[in-house]
Amino acid sequence: MREPTRRYERHGSPHRWVWIVAGLALALVAGCGVGWAGRALLAPPAPLPQAHAFAVTTSQSGTLGRSISLNASASWSDGADLRGVRQGTVTEVGVTGGDRASEGAVLYTVNEQPVIIAQGAIPAYRDLAMGAKGQDVAQLQAFLNRTEGAGLAEDGDFAERTLKAVSHWQKDLGLEQTGVVPAGQLLFVPTVPVTITWAQDFTAGAPAAPGEIIGTLGGTEPTFSIGLPPAQAAMVEPGMAVSIAAGNSAWPAQVGALSTAEDGTMVASLVPGEGADSICAPQCDQVPVGGAQNLRATITIVPEQSGTIVPVAALQVAADGSSAVVLEDGTSVPVTVTTSVGGRAIVEGLETGARIRVAGDVGASTTSGPSPASSSDGSQSR
């Protein structure tokens, strides 16, 4: 029989196996830890929370438009010479120099006989009486129709009805009712009313003679223009509406031709508004004969429109030129842009109060209601 101690030597001590098992377990745990650390180091980082690529705003109801205020000037142009029509001595000057004379007014008197202004192209060269015929008679008949309401046929035939109309007119003037209009009693000018500027020596007591220059005729209305500073010149185009302040009135006009003055300044001439024949009639007499400066004028750059307002940044424009806005929930709504001013636009096809997306950073914004805003260049926007 073998000794027990031999068996122990061949199979080893029991404590040795305990240490072997513990070492294997520790190695396994260490391996797992290293593997986890490797995965943690090599794995891509977790995605950060992403910000929205848009803000949200609310469409508003309001009005948009833009205008600029500048100074306009008015000037009277020099007209034709005014020539006398009667021989004698000036006994009275009825119209003050620089005043505007209306048709039928007594300009002056010679030997106490009146010289009366009338509209017509043919100078008075003969006495007009019963039986006379011609264009000068038709001109007389037109004058009587305008000033007396005579109701004459303007046929150039001085007949019974014309005779009666002439006598009635003479009675109204306090003249002898002869029914004859002597040469020189009417002074015909191309247009009326007209501004009269008398010659320096044309005063009561001065000699008068037919054909002698006694003054000048001004234009029937002044010309208006606006000097445009560089910042405003780029905005202004022919046809834009203009309003000129005149006391308690406003004279409508529009931009005409644009030209460059000698000093390089851009100048906009003004013309009567659409469908009108005059800028200032019947108030042109408010413009002094020497002209006027610093008349406040407002040029409409963008006519005012009312509707639903959205930020221009909310508009998406397709390749075909069509526009749309995107609602907060992502729904695309086609719209039609009718006007835009200062980063805001009026659109059709969208309800007021709609929540819409606007390209921008995180956060919601709220559009403010439209209100007038003045810029340093004198412009007004709404």
DSSP for 164-203, please give it.
Answer: HHHHHHHHHHT----S-B-TTSEEEESSSSEEEEE-TT-S
Provide the pLDDT for residue 40.
Answer: 45
Contacts of 197 (CB under 8 A, 6+ apart): 97, 98, 215, 216, 217, 218, 289
- Going by C-alpha positions, the residue among 95, 97, 99 that lies closest to residue 114 is 95
Residue % of the chain over a pLDDT of 70:
80
Predicted confidence band of residue 364 (pLDDT cuts 50, 70, 90): very low
pLDDT (mean) for 51-64: 86
Chain CA centroid to CA 350, Å:
29
pLDDT (mean) for 356-365: 65
Provide the pLDDT for residue 272.
Answer: 94
> pLDDT at residue 365 above 50?
no
Predicted confidence band of residue 374 (pLDDT cuts 50, 70, 90): very low
342: left (phi over 0), alpha (psi -120 to 50) or beta: left
Predicted confidence band of residue 290 (pLDDT cuts 50, 70, 90): confident
Q: What is the pLDDT of residues 106-152, one digit of tens each?
A: 999 999 999 999 999 999 999 999 999 999 999 999 999 999 999 99
Supply φ then ψ for residue 356, to 5 degrees. -130, 155
Tokens representing residue 326 in the block? 């995107």
Tokens representing residue 172 in the block? 């109204």
Query: In Å, how far are 255, 273, 277, 373 from 243, measured between CA atoms?
Result: 10, 9, 15, 19
Tokens representing residue 271 in the block? 């013309």
Q: What is the pLDDT of residues 94-113, one digit of tens each?
A: 998 777 789 999 999 999 99
In angstroms, how far apart are the furthest CA atoms of the chain? 186
